[in-house]
């Protein structure tokens, strides 16, 4: 199903490229746009994960540099029956994480330094398991390809905005659809964001929450983590996400600052409260011990040593 969804997304974005090429340069422009769209699709399919990781300045870790974190990811991946993904660290105080890659054999999990500083071992296991569920469900292919192509369309719109005179000045003034073409180009960035929203259903987060609970064995770990992350992420901006807002759907919670702008216009994540409620319902169905109460204002947690997956506690 995800492959079909990705194919439909690529077809829609290719059609947008072709339409813009037709309006700006006629039939010749459409041909050029189709060629560029084909190149962009191939690039996004094979290299979008590397591009997204580069956008967020994620650096790879090894068993030697972060042995506890790497071991935790490897053990959870083994429990999920999948290869160990590459592990990356983002030097940001905002607690957050995302997964990327076209399939489980070519996947990566990236976490921020703020996430490691905030969460305990159980909570971190819940977050990593959630990201592994995205990889196992192959959500990462759709999300990463969509983010990459949306970024390309945004860059194209900005280029036409700043250099539009090259297309519509002088001898191109007689083009009957010149102004319309420019306006359509400038609308492509929010339209691409809409396509991301349509291609990546909000229900994928609920499915990944459930899948992560199955992998780590305890939905309460992720419920506690989501509550902490939501409280801390709002006051700690992620600069790279602000530069590349099209990647916001990749993260476990919305990384964009504030309640306005794209964060309010395109809700790519379901409410955290609803996600926590479903996880608590799942825990009750599994007869697990209810979570300990969380204070209204959390004190910063000290960095923990992460190692083996902690045992599940049942009531």
Q: How far is Cα 102 from Cα 108, in angstroms, rounded to an integer?
A: 10
Helix ranges (DSSP H) in 56-136:
67-80, 113-118, 121-136
| Catalytic-residue membership of 131 | yes
Tell me 86's DSSP state: E
Task: Measure the CA–CA gap between 128 and 9, rounded to whole angstroms.
Answer: 27
Element spanning 223, H or E: helix 219-233
Q: Who's near 267: CB < 8 A, 6+ residues apart? A: 197, 202
Query: Please, which contacts does 264-273 make with residues 24 or more away whose CB atoms are closer than 8 Å?
Result: 265/190, 265/193, 266/193, 266/194, 266/196, 266/197, 267/197, 267/202, 268/196, 268/197, 268/200, 268/202, 269/202, 269/205, 270/202, 270/203, 270/205, 270/206, 272/226, 272/227, 272/230
Question: Which residue among the candidates 123, 131, 227, 246 is catalytic per the annotation?
Answer: 131
What are 288's strand-pairing partners? 314
Q: How many CB atoms lie within 10 A of CB 101?
A: 24
List Cβ neighbours of 84 (8 Å cut-off, separation of 6 or more): 73, 74, 77, 78
Which positions are catalytic? 131
């Amino acid at each position: 199903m995800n492959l079909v969804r990705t194919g439909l997304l690529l077809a829609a974005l290719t059609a947008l490229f072709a339409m813009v090429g037709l309006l700006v340069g006629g039939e010749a422009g459409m041909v050029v746009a189709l060629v560029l769209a084909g190149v962009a699709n191939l690039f996004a399919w094979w290299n979008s994960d590397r591009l997204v990781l580069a956008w967020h300045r994620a650096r790879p870790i090894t068993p030697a540099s972060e042995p506890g974190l790497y071991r935790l990811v490897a053990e959870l991946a083994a429990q999920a029956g999948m290869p160990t993904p590459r592990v990356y660290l983002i030097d940001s105080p905002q607690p957050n994480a995302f997964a990327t890659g076209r399939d489980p054999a070519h996947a990566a999990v990236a976490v921020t330094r703020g996430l490691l500083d905030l969460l305990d071992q159980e909570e971190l296991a819940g977050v990593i398991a959630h990201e592994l569920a995205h990889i196992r469900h192959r959500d990462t292919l759709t999300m990463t390809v969509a983010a990459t192509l949306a970024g390309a369309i945004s860059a194209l719109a900005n280029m036409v905005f700043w250099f539009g005179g090259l297309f519509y000045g002088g001898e191109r003034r007689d083009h009957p659809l010149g102004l319309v073409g420019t306006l359509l180009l400038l609308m492509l960035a929010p339209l691409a964001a809409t396509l991301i929203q349509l291609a990546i259903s909000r229900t994928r987060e609920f499915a990944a929450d459930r899948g992560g609970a199955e992998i780590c064995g305890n939905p309460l770990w992720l419920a506690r983590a989501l509550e902490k992350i939501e409280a801390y992420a709002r006051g700690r901006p992620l600069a790279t996400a602000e530069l590349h807002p099209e990647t916001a759907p990749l993260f476990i919670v919305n990384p964009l600052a504030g309640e306005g702008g794209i964060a309010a216009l395109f809700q790519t994540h379901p409410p955290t409260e609803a996600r926590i409620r479903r996880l608590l319902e799942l825990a009750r169905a599994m007869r697990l011990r209810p979570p300990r109460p969380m204070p209204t204002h959390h004190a910063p947690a000290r960095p923990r040593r992460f190692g083996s997956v902690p045992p599940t506690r049942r009531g």
